[in-house]
Amino acid sequence: MDAEQTVFRALADPTRRALLDALFETDGQTVGELVALFPDVTRFAVMKHLAVLADADLVSTERVGREKHHHLNPVPIAQIADRWVGKYAQPFTRAMLDVRAAAESLHETPSDRKQP
């Protein structure tokens, strides 16, 4: 299996995507901290998901004393995005995202708007 397939396989699971989201929010979490965020998932399952993410190079691990801290590595996702979206499609994609954001902002109520 090539690196791209490994990344897609890792991203296919919703729990693994949620773990990546958790590391995006707070990078450098331990297994215990991640397990606490997912009460319906066992510690063993979280460790197994982290191993799949590490195999895909989406997560790196740093030993700090007796603990292992897990860090998000967004590079493989960016590489896939560059390959699949490509430079020729980026202006079109960016324009579509801008249109979507504009349309969504039209439907906001004043209470929906974020305060600076």
Tokens standing for residue 13:
């699971």
Tokens standing for residue 7:
């990344």
**pLDDT score recorded for residue 9:** 95
What is the pLDDT averaged over residues 18-47? 97
**pLDDT score recorded for residue 114:** 55
**Taking the model in full, what pTM does it have?**
0.73
**Is the per-residue pLDDT at 108 higher than 80?**
no
Q: 35 or 81: whose pLDDT is higher?
A: 35
What is the pLDDT averaged over residues 53-79? 95
Banded model confidence at residue 106, pLDDT cuts 50, 70, 90:
confident
**Nearest residue to 76 (alpha-carbon basis) of 59, 64, 89, 58:** 58
What is the pLDDT averaged over residues 81-102? 81
